[in-house]
Structure 1
Amino acid sequence: MINRLLNTSSIVITLLVLCTQASAASFLVQDQHGLPLKNAVLEFSVTNPAAEAVSPPNTLIMDQVDKLFKPEVLVIHQGDYVNFPNSDNIRHHVYSFSSVKPFELKLYSGKSKAPLQFDVAGVAVLGCNIHDSMIGYIYIASSTQVLMTNEQGIARLADTVAYDSVNVWHASSVTRLTNMSYEDLSKSKNNNGALVINLVVEAPEPRNTFQSIFKKNGQ
Protein backbone atom coordinates (compact mmCIF):
# COMPACT_ATOMS: atom_id res chain seq x y z
CA MET A 1 0.00 0.00 0.00
CA ILE A 2 2.90 2.35 0.81
CA ASN A 3 4.22 2.08 -2.75
CA ARG A 4 0.89 3.28 -4.10
CA LEU A 5 1.03 6.36 -1.91
CA LEU A 6 4.49 7.59 -2.80
CA ASN A 7 3.41 10.42 -5.11
CA THR A 8 0.60 12.72 -4.09
CA SER A 9 -0.23 16.28 -4.96
CA SER A 10 0.82 17.04 -1.41
CA ILE A 11 4.38 16.11 -2.24
CA VAL A 12 4.41 17.65 -5.66
CA ILE A 13 7.40 19.93 -6.17
CA THR A 14 7.33 22.76 -8.69
CA LEU A 15 10.84 23.17 -10.07
CA LEU A 16 11.83 26.61 -11.26
CA VAL A 17 14.97 26.25 -13.35
CA LEU A 18 17.11 29.35 -13.36
CA CYS A 19 19.38 29.55 -16.38
CA THR A 20 22.06 31.65 -14.74
CA GLN A 21 23.48 31.89 -11.27
CA ALA A 22 21.35 34.35 -9.35
CA SER A 23 20.69 35.90 -6.00
CA ALA A 24 17.62 37.72 -4.74
CA ALA A 25 16.43 38.91 -1.37
CA SER A 26 12.65 38.61 -1.64
CA PHE A 27 10.11 36.24 -3.22
CA LEU A 28 6.31 36.46 -3.41
CA VAL A 29 4.36 33.23 -3.93
CA GLN A 30 0.77 33.66 -5.02
CA ASP A 31 -2.10 31.59 -6.42
CA GLN A 32 -3.85 31.82 -9.79
CA HIS A 33 -6.06 34.61 -8.42
CA GLY A 34 -3.13 36.74 -7.30
CA LEU A 35 -3.67 35.95 -3.62
CA PRO A 36 -0.61 35.33 -1.44
CA LEU A 37 0.16 31.76 -0.41
CA LYS A 38 1.47 31.15 3.08
CA ASN A 39 3.39 27.97 3.97
CA ALA A 40 4.93 27.66 0.52
CA VAL A 41 8.41 26.13 0.80
CA LEU A 42 11.33 27.38 -1.30
CA GLU A 43 14.46 25.22 -1.36
CA PHE A 44 17.48 26.68 -3.13
CA SER A 45 20.27 24.88 -4.95
CA VAL A 46 23.16 27.15 -4.04
CA THR A 47 26.42 27.67 -5.88
CA ASN A 48 28.58 29.25 -3.17
CA PRO A 49 30.01 26.61 -0.79
CA ALA A 50 29.96 28.92 2.24
CA ALA A 51 26.15 28.99 2.12
CA GLU A 52 26.04 25.18 2.30
CA ALA A 53 27.97 24.80 5.54
CA VAL A 54 26.56 21.74 7.31
CA SER A 55 25.41 22.16 10.92
CA PRO A 56 24.72 19.41 13.50
CA PRO A 57 21.19 17.92 13.51
CA ASN A 58 18.52 19.88 15.34
CA THR A 59 15.43 18.66 17.17
CA LEU A 60 12.22 20.44 16.14
CA ILE A 61 8.65 20.12 17.37
CA MET A 62 5.49 18.96 15.60
CA ASP A 63 2.86 19.37 18.31
CA GLN A 64 -0.80 18.42 18.45
CA VAL A 65 -3.03 21.20 19.75
CA ASP A 66 -6.85 21.29 19.62
CA LYS A 67 -6.82 18.28 17.28
CA LEU A 68 -4.52 20.07 14.85
CA PHE A 69 -0.87 19.64 13.93
CA LYS A 70 1.09 22.69 15.06
CA PRO A 71 2.67 23.86 12.87
CA GLU A 72 0.70 22.55 9.91
CA VAL A 73 3.90 22.62 7.84
CA LEU A 74 7.24 21.99 9.53
CA VAL A 75 10.43 22.63 7.56
CA ILE A 76 13.53 20.74 8.68
CA HIS A 77 16.89 19.76 7.23
CA GLN A 78 17.91 16.26 6.25
CA GLY A 79 19.16 14.47 9.36
CA ASP A 80 17.15 16.57 11.84
CA TYR A 81 14.98 15.05 14.56
CA VAL A 82 11.30 15.80 15.22
CA ASN A 83 9.60 15.55 18.59
CA PHE A 84 5.82 14.91 18.80
CA PRO A 85 4.84 16.03 22.35
CA ASN A 86 0.96 16.00 22.17
CA SER A 87 -0.24 19.06 24.08
CA ASP A 88 -3.87 17.88 23.92
CA ASN A 89 -5.40 16.08 26.89
CA ILE A 90 -6.55 13.26 24.62
CA ARG A 91 -4.79 10.42 22.81
CA HIS A 92 -3.43 10.76 19.27
CA HIS A 93 -2.12 8.06 16.95
CA VAL A 94 0.15 9.91 14.54
CA TYR A 95 1.37 8.10 11.44
CA SER A 96 2.72 8.57 7.94
CA PHE A 97 2.70 6.36 4.84
CA SER A 98 5.20 8.59 3.03
CA SER A 99 8.27 6.78 1.71
CA VAL A 100 10.66 9.33 3.23
CA LYS A 101 9.62 8.23 6.74
CA PRO A 102 6.84 5.69 7.31
CA PHE A 103 6.06 5.53 11.04
CA GLU A 104 3.37 5.43 13.69
CA LEU A 105 3.32 6.83 17.23
CA LYS A 106 0.64 6.31 19.87
CA LEU A 107 0.81 9.53 21.82
CA TYR A 108 -0.70 10.08 25.25
CA SER A 109 -0.90 13.45 26.97
CA GLY A 110 2.08 13.97 29.26
CA LYS A 111 3.91 10.86 28.03
CA SER A 112 6.69 11.70 25.62
CA LYS A 113 8.19 9.52 22.90
CA ALA A 114 11.74 9.62 21.63
CA PRO A 115 12.22 12.07 18.73
CA LEU A 116 12.29 10.58 15.21
CA GLN A 117 15.13 11.29 12.81
CA PHE A 118 14.26 12.25 9.23
CA ASP A 119 17.33 11.44 7.14
CA VAL A 120 15.73 11.23 3.68
CA ALA A 121 14.84 14.40 1.77
CA GLY A 122 11.24 14.88 0.65
CA VAL A 123 7.83 15.49 2.19
CA ALA A 124 6.18 13.38 4.88
CA VAL A 125 2.39 13.69 5.03
CA LEU A 126 1.08 13.11 8.56
CA GLY A 127 -2.29 11.91 9.77
CA CYS A 128 -3.94 10.75 12.98
CA ASN A 129 -5.53 7.32 13.06
CA ILE A 130 -8.08 8.57 15.60
CA HIS A 131 -8.86 12.03 14.20
CA ASP A 132 -8.97 11.63 10.43
CA SER A 133 -9.26 15.36 9.71
CA MET A 134 -5.81 16.03 11.18
CA ILE A 135 -3.32 16.66 8.36
CA GLY A 136 0.25 17.87 8.70
CA TYR A 137 3.40 18.02 6.58
CA ILE A 138 7.10 17.77 7.30
CA TYR A 139 9.31 19.10 4.51
CA ILE A 140 12.81 17.58 4.73
CA ALA A 141 15.27 19.75 2.82
CA SER A 142 18.58 18.53 1.44
CA SER A 143 19.81 22.11 0.98
CA THR A 144 20.78 24.34 3.88
CA GLN A 145 18.99 27.24 2.18
CA VAL A 146 15.26 26.65 2.59
CA LEU A 147 12.53 29.17 3.39
CA MET A 148 8.77 29.20 4.00
CA THR A 149 6.45 32.04 3.05
CA ASN A 150 4.65 34.06 5.71
CA GLU A 151 1.00 35.19 5.83
CA GLN A 152 1.75 37.69 3.05
CA GLY A 153 3.25 34.98 0.82
CA ILE A 154 6.72 36.46 1.25
CA ALA A 155 10.03 34.67 1.83
CA ARG A 156 13.36 36.48 2.06
CA LEU A 157 16.74 35.06 1.12
CA ALA A 158 20.03 36.67 2.07
CA ASP A 159 21.38 38.43 -1.00
CA THR A 160 24.79 36.87 -0.32
CA VAL A 161 23.41 33.44 -1.28
CA ALA A 162 23.98 32.57 -4.94
CA TYR A 163 21.71 29.87 -6.39
CA ASP A 164 20.98 28.31 -9.75
CA SER A 165 17.58 26.75 -9.04
CA VAL A 166 14.76 26.77 -6.51
CA ASN A 167 12.23 24.05 -5.67
CA VAL A 168 8.82 25.45 -4.71
CA TRP A 169 6.32 23.26 -2.83
CA HIS A 170 2.85 23.94 -1.49
CA ALA A 171 0.40 21.42 -0.06
CA SER A 172 -2.44 22.59 -2.34
CA SER A 173 -0.44 22.89 -5.56
CA VAL A 174 -1.83 21.05 -8.57
CA THR A 175 1.10 21.86 -10.85
CA ARG A 176 3.29 18.81 -11.35
CA LEU A 177 6.33 20.50 -12.87
CA THR A 178 6.92 24.04 -14.09
CA ASN A 179 10.11 25.08 -15.82
CA MET A 180 10.81 28.80 -15.67
CA SER A 181 13.96 30.59 -16.72
CA TYR A 182 15.53 33.15 -14.40
CA GLU A 183 14.96 35.76 -17.08
CA ASP A 184 11.22 35.09 -17.03
CA LEU A 185 11.17 34.98 -13.25
CA SER A 186 13.03 38.28 -12.91
CA LYS A 187 10.48 39.95 -15.21
CA SER A 188 7.77 39.07 -12.69
CA LYS A 189 8.87 41.51 -10.00
CA ASN A 190 6.16 43.36 -8.10
CA ASN A 191 6.28 46.99 -6.99
CA ASN A 192 8.35 46.10 -3.95
CA GLY A 193 10.94 44.29 -6.07
CA ALA A 194 10.00 40.77 -4.98
CA LEU A 195 10.28 37.99 -7.56
CA VAL A 196 6.76 36.68 -8.12
CA ILE A 197 6.11 32.93 -8.30
CA ASN A 198 2.63 31.88 -9.46
CA LEU A 199 1.21 28.50 -8.45
CA VAL A 200 -2.08 26.90 -9.43
CA VAL A 201 -3.76 25.54 -6.32
CA GLU A 202 -7.01 23.73 -5.68
CA ALA A 203 -9.51 24.76 -3.04
CA PRO A 204 -9.66 22.42 -0.02
CA GLU A 205 -12.64 20.16 0.35
CA PRO A 206 -15.11 20.92 3.19
CA ARG A 207 -13.67 17.95 5.10
CA ASN A 208 -10.15 17.32 3.92
CA THR A 209 -9.08 14.02 5.48
CA PHE A 210 -5.89 12.03 5.32
CA GLN A 211 -7.65 9.13 3.58
CA SER A 212 -9.35 11.37 1.02
CA ILE A 213 -6.02 13.00 0.10
CA PHE A 214 -4.36 9.67 -0.61
CA LYS A 215 -7.43 8.11 -2.22
CA LYS A 216 -7.64 11.00 -4.68
CA ASN A 217 -3.96 11.46 -5.40
CA GLY A 218 -2.17 8.25 -4.44
CA GLN A 219 -0.37 6.20 -7.10
Structure 2
Amino acid sequence: MINHLLNTSGIVITLLVLCIQARAESFLVQDQQGLPLKNAVLEFSVTNAASAPVLPPNTLVMDQVDKLFKPEVLVIHQGDYVNFPNSDNIRHHVYSFSSVKPFELKLYSGKPKAPLQFDVAGVAVLGCNIHDSMIGYIYIASSTQVLMTNEQGIATLADMVEYDSVNVWHASSVTRLTNMSYDDLSKSKNNNGVLVINLIVDAPEPRNTFQSIFKKNGQ
Protein backbone atom coordinates (compact mmCIF):
# COMPACT_ATOMS: atom_id res chain seq x y z
CA MET A 1 0.00 0.00 0.00
CA ILE A 2 2.80 2.39 0.96
CA ASN A 3 4.70 1.55 -2.23
CA HIS A 4 1.55 2.19 -4.23
CA LEU A 5 1.11 5.59 -2.57
CA LEU A 6 4.76 6.45 -3.20
CA ASN A 7 4.47 5.44 -6.84
CA THR A 8 1.26 7.45 -7.18
CA SER A 9 2.90 10.46 -5.53
CA GLY A 10 5.76 10.19 -8.00
CA ILE A 11 3.32 10.23 -10.90
CA VAL A 12 1.51 13.25 -9.46
CA ILE A 13 4.78 15.12 -8.93
CA THR A 14 5.88 14.29 -12.47
CA LEU A 15 2.59 15.53 -13.86
CA LEU A 16 2.88 18.74 -11.84
CA VAL A 17 6.38 19.33 -13.17
CA LEU A 18 5.19 18.74 -16.72
CA CYS A 19 2.29 21.15 -16.19
CA ILE A 20 4.60 23.81 -14.82
CA GLN A 21 6.95 23.36 -17.77
CA ALA A 22 4.05 23.56 -20.19
CA ARG A 23 3.09 26.93 -18.75
CA ALA A 24 6.40 28.54 -19.71
CA GLU A 25 6.31 30.69 -22.83
CA SER A 26 9.41 31.69 -24.77
CA PHE A 27 9.66 34.76 -26.99
CA LEU A 28 12.16 35.53 -29.74
CA VAL A 29 12.63 39.17 -30.68
CA GLN A 30 14.36 39.73 -34.01
CA ASP A 31 14.99 42.50 -36.51
CA GLN A 32 13.85 42.83 -40.11
CA GLN A 33 16.81 40.67 -41.21
CA GLY A 34 15.82 37.87 -38.87
CA LEU A 35 18.72 38.58 -36.51
CA PRO A 36 18.10 38.26 -32.75
CA LEU A 37 17.85 41.44 -30.70
CA LYS A 38 19.29 41.42 -27.21
CA ASN A 39 18.12 43.89 -24.55
CA ALA A 40 14.59 44.05 -25.95
CA VAL A 41 12.07 44.67 -23.17
CA LEU A 42 8.70 42.91 -23.06
CA GLU A 43 6.12 44.34 -20.66
CA PHE A 44 2.92 42.33 -20.27
CA SER A 45 -0.54 43.77 -19.73
CA VAL A 46 -1.76 41.32 -17.11
CA THR A 47 -5.50 40.62 -17.18
CA ASN A 48 -5.74 39.96 -13.43
CA ALA A 49 -3.53 42.89 -12.43
CA ALA A 50 -5.80 43.80 -9.51
CA SER A 51 -4.96 40.51 -7.79
CA ALA A 52 -1.22 40.75 -8.49
CA PRO A 53 0.94 41.29 -5.40
CA VAL A 54 2.29 44.79 -4.86
CA LEU A 55 6.04 44.69 -5.27
CA PRO A 56 8.05 46.48 -2.58
CA PRO A 57 10.62 48.97 -3.93
CA ASN A 58 14.01 47.52 -4.76
CA THR A 59 17.35 49.26 -5.15
CA LEU A 60 19.20 48.38 -8.35
CA VAL A 61 22.54 49.45 -9.80
CA MET A 62 23.50 51.30 -12.98
CA ASP A 63 27.30 51.22 -12.87
CA GLN A 64 29.86 53.08 -14.95
CA VAL A 65 32.76 50.94 -16.13
CA ASP A 66 35.30 51.75 -18.86
CA LYS A 67 33.27 54.80 -19.90
CA LEU A 68 30.17 52.65 -20.41
CA PHE A 69 26.93 52.29 -18.51
CA LYS A 70 26.67 48.77 -17.10
CA PRO A 71 24.20 47.39 -17.88
CA GLU A 72 23.40 49.36 -21.01
CA VAL A 73 19.70 48.67 -20.38
CA LEU A 74 18.38 48.37 -16.83
CA VAL A 75 14.81 47.17 -16.26
CA ILE A 76 13.13 48.22 -13.02
CA HIS A 77 9.62 48.51 -11.64
CA GLN A 78 7.79 51.73 -10.95
CA GLY A 79 8.85 52.99 -7.53
CA ASP A 80 12.25 51.27 -7.52
CA TYR A 81 15.49 53.06 -6.65
CA VAL A 82 18.71 53.12 -8.69
CA ASN A 83 22.25 53.64 -7.47
CA PHE A 84 24.78 55.14 -9.90
CA PRO A 85 28.23 54.10 -8.67
CA ASN A 86 31.24 55.22 -10.68
CA SER A 87 33.68 52.31 -10.90
CA ASP A 88 36.04 54.18 -13.24
CA ASN A 89 39.12 56.00 -11.98
CA ILE A 90 37.86 59.18 -13.66
CA ARG A 91 34.89 61.35 -12.81
CA HIS A 92 31.54 61.23 -14.60
CA HIS A 93 28.62 63.65 -14.82
CA VAL A 94 25.47 61.56 -15.27
CA TYR A 95 22.22 63.17 -16.34
CA SER A 96 18.89 62.62 -18.06
CA PHE A 97 16.49 65.02 -19.74
CA SER A 98 13.77 62.35 -19.94
CA SER A 99 10.36 63.46 -18.73
CA VAL A 100 9.97 60.34 -16.59
CA LYS A 101 12.98 61.34 -14.47
CA PRO A 102 15.04 64.43 -15.25
CA PHE A 103 18.09 64.49 -13.01
CA GLU A 104 21.75 65.43 -12.82
CA LEU A 105 24.61 63.90 -10.84
CA LYS A 106 27.41 66.41 -11.23
CA LEU A 107 31.07 65.45 -11.49
CA TYR A 108 31.72 62.65 -9.06
CA SER A 109 33.67 59.49 -8.44
CA GLY A 110 32.81 56.57 -6.20
CA LYS A 111 29.21 56.36 -5.09
CA PRO A 112 26.59 59.14 -4.84
CA LYS A 113 25.15 59.79 -1.40
CA ALA A 114 21.72 58.35 -2.11
CA PRO A 115 19.94 56.33 -4.82
CA LEU A 116 17.33 57.97 -7.03
CA GLN A 117 13.72 56.81 -7.10
CA PHE A 118 11.97 56.28 -10.44
CA ASP A 119 8.24 56.48 -9.77
CA VAL A 120 6.96 57.25 -13.29
CA ALA A 121 6.69 54.52 -15.93
CA GLY A 122 8.57 54.96 -19.20
CA VAL A 123 12.13 55.07 -20.50
CA ALA A 124 14.89 57.28 -19.12
CA VAL A 125 17.78 57.89 -21.51
CA LEU A 126 21.05 58.48 -19.69
CA GLY A 127 24.13 60.38 -20.78
CA CYS A 128 27.40 61.71 -19.40
CA ASN A 129 28.15 65.40 -19.76
CA ILE A 130 31.87 64.64 -19.97
CA HIS A 131 31.86 61.57 -22.20
CA ASP A 132 29.29 61.94 -24.98
CA SER A 133 29.70 58.35 -26.12
CA MET A 134 28.13 57.06 -22.89
CA ILE A 135 24.49 56.12 -23.51
CA GLY A 136 22.31 54.09 -21.18
CA TYR A 137 18.63 53.32 -20.69
CA ILE A 138 16.42 52.66 -17.69
CA TYR A 139 13.09 51.04 -18.52
CA ILE A 140 10.57 51.70 -15.74
CA ALA A 141 7.77 49.14 -15.91
CA SER A 142 4.28 49.67 -14.52
CA SER A 143 3.45 45.97 -14.87
CA THR A 144 4.62 43.29 -12.46
CA GLN A 145 5.50 41.10 -15.45
CA VAL A 146 8.42 42.35 -17.53
CA LEU A 147 11.24 40.53 -19.31
CA MET A 148 14.40 41.39 -21.23
CA THR A 149 15.88 39.28 -24.03
CA ASN A 150 19.30 37.65 -23.80
CA GLU A 151 22.10 37.52 -26.37
CA GLN A 152 20.03 35.11 -28.47
CA GLY A 153 17.02 37.44 -28.43
CA ILE A 154 15.13 35.03 -26.16
CA ALA A 155 13.04 35.80 -23.09
CA THR A 156 10.98 33.26 -21.18
CA LEU A 157 7.84 33.87 -19.16
CA ALA A 158 8.16 31.10 -16.59
CA ASP A 159 5.09 31.78 -14.48
CA MET A 160 1.46 31.12 -15.36
CA VAL A 161 0.43 34.63 -16.32
CA GLU A 162 -2.74 35.67 -18.12
CA TYR A 163 -2.17 38.68 -20.34
CA ASP A 164 -4.00 40.30 -23.23
CA SER A 165 -1.12 42.21 -24.85
CA VAL A 166 2.57 42.98 -24.59
CA ASN A 167 4.53 46.18 -25.19
CA VAL A 168 7.91 45.60 -26.82
CA TRP A 169 10.68 48.19 -26.58
CA HIS A 170 14.18 48.24 -28.03
CA ALA A 171 16.64 51.11 -28.15
CA SER A 172 17.11 50.72 -31.92
CA SER A 173 13.45 50.20 -32.81
CA VAL A 174 11.99 52.62 -35.37
CA THR A 175 8.83 52.87 -33.29
CA ARG A 176 9.11 53.81 -29.63
CA LEU A 177 6.86 50.95 -28.49
CA THR A 178 5.36 48.03 -30.38
CA ASN A 179 2.13 46.66 -28.95
CA MET A 180 1.05 43.12 -29.78
CA SER A 181 -2.17 41.47 -28.68
CA TYR A 182 -2.22 37.96 -27.26
CA ASP A 183 -4.15 36.79 -30.34
CA ASP A 184 -1.50 38.18 -32.69
CA LEU A 185 1.28 36.62 -30.65
CA SER A 186 -0.40 33.22 -30.64
CA LYS A 187 -0.25 33.23 -34.46
CA SER A 188 3.50 33.91 -34.51
CA LYS A 189 4.79 30.61 -33.12
CA ASN A 190 7.66 29.03 -35.01
CA ASN A 191 8.26 25.29 -35.40
CA ASN A 192 9.81 25.16 -31.93
CA GLY A 193 6.76 26.70 -30.28
CA VAL A 194 8.56 29.99 -29.67
CA LEU A 195 6.55 33.20 -30.11
CA VAL A 196 8.38 35.39 -32.64
CA ILE A 197 8.25 39.19 -32.48
CA ASN A 198 9.64 41.15 -35.43
CA LEU A 199 10.86 44.72 -35.00
CA ILE A 200 12.11 47.20 -37.58
CA VAL A 201 15.32 48.74 -36.30
CA ASP A 202 17.58 51.56 -37.41
CA ALA A 203 21.24 51.17 -38.21
CA PRO A 204 23.30 51.68 -35.02
CA GLU A 205 23.77 55.34 -34.17
CA PRO A 206 27.29 56.76 -33.88
CA ARG A 207 28.22 56.73 -30.21
CA ASN A 208 28.45 60.53 -30.03
CA THR A 209 24.84 61.29 -30.94
CA PHE A 210 23.18 61.44 -27.53
CA GLN A 211 20.72 64.13 -28.62
CA SER A 212 19.42 62.11 -31.56
CA ILE A 213 19.04 59.01 -29.40
CA PHE A 214 17.29 61.09 -26.75
CA LYS A 215 14.82 62.52 -29.29
CA LYS A 216 14.26 59.13 -30.90
CA ASN A 217 12.93 57.74 -27.64
CA GLY A 218 10.25 60.40 -27.53
CA GLN A 219 11.88 62.48 -24.83
1:5-32 Cα distance to aligned partner (Å, 9 max, x none): 9999999999999999997611110000
Unaligned 5+ residue runs, structure 2?
A: none
Give the drift of 1:110. 2.6
Structure-1 residue corresponding to 2:28:
28
SS at match of 2:15: strand
Q: Tell me the CA shift for residue 55 of structure 1.
A: 1.9
Taking the aligned partners of 1:113 and 1:195, their CA distance within structure 2 comes to 43
In 2 relative to 1, CA 5–184 (structure 1 residues): closer, same or farther, beyond 3 Å?
farther
Change (3 A) 1:51 1:22: farther
**Residues 213 and 7 of structure 1: is their aligned pair in 2 closer, same or farther, counting only changes over 3 Å?**
farther
Once the two structures are TM-superposed, the CA of residue 51 in structure 1 deviates from its matched residue by 6.9
Please say which of residues 173-182 and 137-146 is displaced more in the overlay: 173-182
Note if contact 2:118-2:140 (Cα within 8 Å) is conserved in structure 1. yes
- In structure 2, the CA distance between the partners of 1:37 and 1:208, relative to structure 1 (3 Å rule), is farther
How far did 1:123 drift?
Answer: 0.4
Secondary structure at the aligned position of 1:16 is classed as: helix
1:206 CA drift (Å): 3.4
- The answer to which of 172-181 and 120-129 deviates more is 172-181
Range with greater deviation from structure 2 (78-87 or 175-184)? 175-184
Judging changes above 3 Å, is the alpha-carbon distance between structure 1 residues 77 and 176 closer, same or farther for their aligned structure 2 residues?
closer
Q: Give matches, 1:127-206, under 5 Å.
A: 127-175=127-175, 178=178, 180-206=180-206
User: What is the CA-CA distance between 1:189 and the residue it aligns to?
Assistant: 1.1
Aligned length: 219
Cα offset, 1:161, TM superposition = 0.6
Question: Contact 2:167–2:179 at 8 Å: present in 1 too?
Answer: no
Q: Classify 1:69/1:176 alpha carbon distance in 2 versus 1 (closer, same or farther; 3 Å).
A: closer
Structure 1 residue 204: Cα displacement: 1.0
Bigger shift: 97-106 or 110-119? 110-119
User: Does the 8 Å CA contact 2:31/2:198 hold for their aligned counterparts?
Assistant: yes
Structure ID, larger Rg = 2
SS at match of 2:152: coil
Q: CA deviation at 1:35?
A: 0.4
Contact persistence 2:38–2:153 (CA under 8 A): yes
Provide the aligned C-alpha RMSD in A: 15.0
Deviations 1:42-93 (A, max 9, x none): 0001123587211210000000000000000000000000000100010100
Note closer, same or farther for the CA distance 1:69–1:178 as it changes in structure 2 (3 Å cut): closer
Q: Deviations over 1:129-151 (max 9, x none)?
A: 00011000000000010000000
Instruction: Specify which structure has the bigger relative contact order, considering alpha-carbon pairs within 8 angstroms and separated by 6 or more residues.
Output: 1
Displacement of 1:96 in angstroms is 0.3
**Distance verdict in 2 for CA 1:27–1:15, change over 3 Å:** farther
Moved more, 23-32 or 197-206: 23-32
Q: Pick closer, same or farther for the CA change 1:179–1:156 going to 2, 3 Å.
A: closer
In structure 2, distance between residues paired with 1:117 and 1:14: 44
Kindly indicate whether residue 19 of structure 2 is the aligned counterpart of residue 40 of structure 1: no
Relative distance call for 1:39 and 1:215 in structure 2 (3 A) is: closer
Going from structure 1 to structure 2, the CA distance change for 1:193 and 1:30 (only over 3 Å counts) comes to same
Q: Percent identity?
A: 91
CA drift at 1:104? 0.2
SS at match of 1:57: coil
Is the 2:166–2:179 contact (alpha carbons within 8 Å) kept by the matching residues of 1?
no
Bigger mean CA offset, 158-167 vs 63-72: 158-167
In 2, Cα distance between the equivalents of 1:169 and 1:8? 46
Do the aligned partners of residues 32 and 168 (structure 1) sit closer, same or farther apart at CA in structure 2, a change above 3 Å counting? same
Q: Given the superposition, is the C-alpha separation of residues 215 and 185 from structure 1 closer, same or farther in structure 2, using an over 3 Å criterion?
A: closer
Deviation at 1:214, TM superposition (A): 3.7
